[in-house]
Chain A
Amino acid sequence: MNNAVVAIVSQGSLQHFSFLVNGARYEVLAPPLMSLGEVLREKCGLRGLKHGCQQGGCGACSVQVDGQLVPACMLPMTRANQKSIETIEGLAQGEQLHPIQEAFVECYATQCGFCTAGMIMATKALLESNPSPSREEVLVALSGNVCRCTGYLPIVDAVLVAARNAHSPDLAEPAV
């Protein structure tokens, strides 16, 4: 049995990481313990995700990693290597908004906008696994995302409108 410990990555030294973001390949040099959030924002120029707390508590940095909703501030770069990441920048196709984005505009689900990218990614993750959520399921899916401006109701409505607009059967009715 080989008991040799894997080499220590010494402090501050950079490693090479390769990963997909919204289908495009990125190659970066970063400390392995730097968070994915910091790497995406500072090294990849993808500033749509926001850092509201750096503790996984606010949801503003939510992205999808291999389809799973994850707070980007909580994932060290060493764990994001070779993964396929989706961020807010990947939703619109040129000028054409994604149905979730359209619903957020239609339902006045934004004010200051700082929580918005995270809310939309949480919505996307929800609708990909549950295309016709109940209102209660929406509340659970967005329970990791904090908003200080809207009081949440327009956001919940936007999620249900987005679900409806994707032509799903068995829908909960939004309040609007």
Chain B
Amino acid sequence: MNNHLEKLLPIQDVRFNGDVDQKSLREVGASTPRRDAISHVTGQTVYFEDNTFPGMLHLKMVRSPHHYARIRGIDFSEAEKTPGFVRVITHRDVPYNYYTILRLIGVEPNDEPVLADDRVVYWGEPIAAVLAESPQAAAIAASRVKVEFEPLDAVFDVEEALKPGAPIVTRQGFNYFRYEGHHCRRVRFGEVSQGFASADLIIERRWDTSPIEHAPMETTGCIAKPAGDGRFTVYTNTQALYFSLDNTALILGIPAGRLHFIGGTVGGGFGGKVDVIVEPIATLGAMLTNRPVKFVYTREEEMRISSTRAAERFYIRDGVMRDGRIVARQITLYVDAGAYSRHSPYGTTKAAAHMPGPYTIPNVWVDAHCVYTNRQPSSAMRGFGVTLGDFAIESQMDVIANELRIDPLRLRLINAYRDGDLKAHRKRVEGAALVEVIQKAAELVEQKLDPDLAAMSSGSR
């Protein structure tokens, strides 16, 4: 068979490097010193802010004090008189004033402006960037900018935001992300109404979480510096270096080849430094002034304005049999994206796919909503879209175990999916190990399992 056709066949025979040369692999099971430990303990590791350049300007953002408001006008006259003031940047200066995070992975619309134009939709939203000779001068000048607002009614709750008559946060006319024309991600498997009808007991609970702030030790920031040849060098602590470079190029309307991003040293990310939120405006500042520009979040900005893990709300309705089998599971979940999309539409898709948890349930119904409110835009954090789902699912499992007076491990073992089972979103289970992990964990905590549970395996039901 010729090579071209070989590429189209499923991969049957995978060979890893390890199969070829075992002797060169020594890391697993060994204690290997961290490669960066010595530079950390000697203070030699270079974080973005450890670079400084002559003539560097400091950027301080003027931010919205309202949750939702129209902008009627801005007066910079007092700010301009501040000693050390250099210039201000508004939306009119931004070549393409919209973040394009999701567009880069084919998801639209681009909903978040780099700098607000006629309105603000969350407390802290950036309105204008002030550049000055020192961080103190920039902060003082920014505090003297006067913005005239017309406050509007805001909405802070995901279910309130979906009710008729709620304030509309987006420019699309509705407060949810549209998935291929639908108002939520949907999973339909079997027929839950029949499952509920046949169940011995219906158990229904609601689970809520709060937004969580990553609180890295190093706040978000970057320094953008003209390289002197029409290019810009950007020192940044982003977790998403290429994302940031591409977004910056699109927003500034320049070829990506004119940008040189230096990063990879992050003083704590956890998903909080993936929003590309400082590089475009700092680079624009460098472009407009031909001087290096530093934009670093204060601790207050990091804690109160930077993105968080989304708050989520779950309604889980289960039909269960007395022997512990779950025969129907219906889930309605809401992800609070806050005022803008960022990564939440993607996270909500993951959330939907993660339901109903690692269990084989014959009838599953899921509606997963990505909802906009006037809260801080939420974004990525440590398994976003998935980890909170597990909190809700496993809390629900414990409730079921309690109601049925069944050992919580038994409940999980009898419902755990097995190899070859079809999941609710139509993927086959492969390489399942939940049964074995529970058995091993029980052994480690010296909890003796009943013989029928101890004999179970992921290979058979």
Q: Identify B47's interface contact among A42, A50, A58, A110, CB under 8 A.
A: A50
Of B41, B50, B52, B269, the contact of A110 (CB 8 Å cutoff): B41
Q: Are B267 and A112 in contact (CB under 8 A)?
A: yes
A50 to B45, CA, bound (A): 11
B residues 33-56 in Cβ contact with A at 8 Å: 33-34, 36-47, 49-50, 52
In the complex formed, the residue of A with least CB distance to B50 is A47
A116, B270: Cβ atoms closer than 8 Å: no
Task: For residue A117, give the distance in angstroms from its CB to the closest CB of chain B.
Answer: 5
Is the beta-carbon distance between A105 and B41 smaller than 8 angstroms?
Answer: yes
**Which of B43, B266, B299 lies in contact with A47, CB distance below 8 A?**
B43
Give the nearest-CB partner of B40 in chain A.
A113
Q: Within the assembled complex, what's the spacing in Å between the Cα atoms of A148 and B269?
A: 10
Given the interface contacts A52-B218, A148-B216, A148-B268, does A116 sit within 8 Å of B50 by beta carbon?
A: no
The interface residues of chain B, by DSSP majority, are classed as loop
How far is A55 from B300 in the complex, measured between Cα atoms in Å? 10
Q: Which residues of A contact B50 (CB under 8 A)?
A: 41, 47
Specify which chain B residues have a CB less than 8 angstroms from the CB of A51 in the assembled complex. 49
B299 near A120: Cβ-Cβ < 8 Å: no
- Chain B residues with CB below 8 A from A48, complex form: 42-44
Which residues in A have their C-beta under 8 angstroms from that of B267?
A: 50, 52, 112-114
Is the C-beta of B217 less than 8 angstroms from some C-beta in chain A?
yes
- List, in ascending order, chain B residues with CB within 8 A of A101's CB: 38, 41-42
Number of CB contacts from chain A to chain B under 8 A: 92
Fill in one digit per residue for B325-348: 1 if any A CB lies within 8 Å of its CB, else 0: 000000000000000000000000
A92 at the interface (CB under 8 A from B): yes
Known: A116-B41, A148-B217, A149-B268. A52 touches B34 (CB 8 A): no
- B217 and A54: CB pair below 8 A? no
Contact B43 A114 (CB under 8 A): no
A97, B299: Cβ atoms closer than 8 Å: no
Is A77 interfacial (CB 8 A cutoff)? no
B219: Cβ under 8 A from any A Cβ: yes
A76, B193: Cα distance in complex, Å = 70
Alpha-carbon distance A173/B45, docked complex (angstroms): 31
Q: Which residues of chain A come closer than 8 Å to B209, judged between CB atoms?
A: none
Q: Does A114 lie within 8 Å of B41, measured CB to CB?
A: no
B218 contacts across to A, CB distance below 8 A = 50, 52, 112, 114
Q: Which residues of B contact A55 (CB under 8 A)?
A: 299
Chain A residue numbers with a CB within 8 Å of B299 are 52-55, 57-58
> Is B190's beta carbon under 8 Å from chain A?
no
The reply to whether the CB of A89 lies closer than 8 angstroms to some CB of chain B is yes
Q: For the complex, is A23 an interface residue (Cβ under 8 Å from B)?
A: no
Closest to A101 in B: B41
Is residue B151 contacting chain A, with contact meaning CB distance below 8 A? no
Contacts of A87 in B (CB 8 A): 43
Q: Are A113 and B45 in contact (CB under 8 A)?
A: yes
Q: Are A42 and B268 in contact (CB under 8 A)?
A: no
Residue among B43, B45, B215 making CB contact with A49, cutoff 8 Å: B43
Measured CB to CB, the closest approach of chain B to A176, in angstroms, equals 11
Complex contact B217–A120 (CB within 8 A): no
Which residues of chain B from 199 to 232 have a CB within 8 Å of any chain A CB? 214-219
Q: Give the contacting residue for A97; candidates B42, B215, B266, B268; CB below 8 A.
A: B42
Top 3 nearest A-B pairs (CB, nearest first) are A48-B43, A113-B40, A114-B267
**Interface of A toward B, CB cutoff 8 Å:** 12, 41-42, 47-55, 57-58, 60, 87-89, 91-92, 97, 101, 104-105, 108, 110-117, 120, 146-149
| 19 more CB-based (< 8 A) A-B contacts, given A51-B49, A113-B40 | A47-B43, A49-B43, A50-B47, A50-B267, A54-B298, A55-B299, A89-B43, A92-B42, A104-B40, A108-B37, A110-B34, A113-B36, A113-B39, A113-B45, A114-B218, A114-B268, A116-B41, A146-B217, A148-B268
Interchain residue pairs with CB less than 8 A apart (18): A47-B43, A48-B44, A50-B47, A52-B267, A52-B299, A88-B41, A88-B42, A97-B38, A97-B41, A105-B38, A112-B218, A112-B268, A116-B40, A117-B43, A146-B217, A147-B217, A148-B217, A148-B268
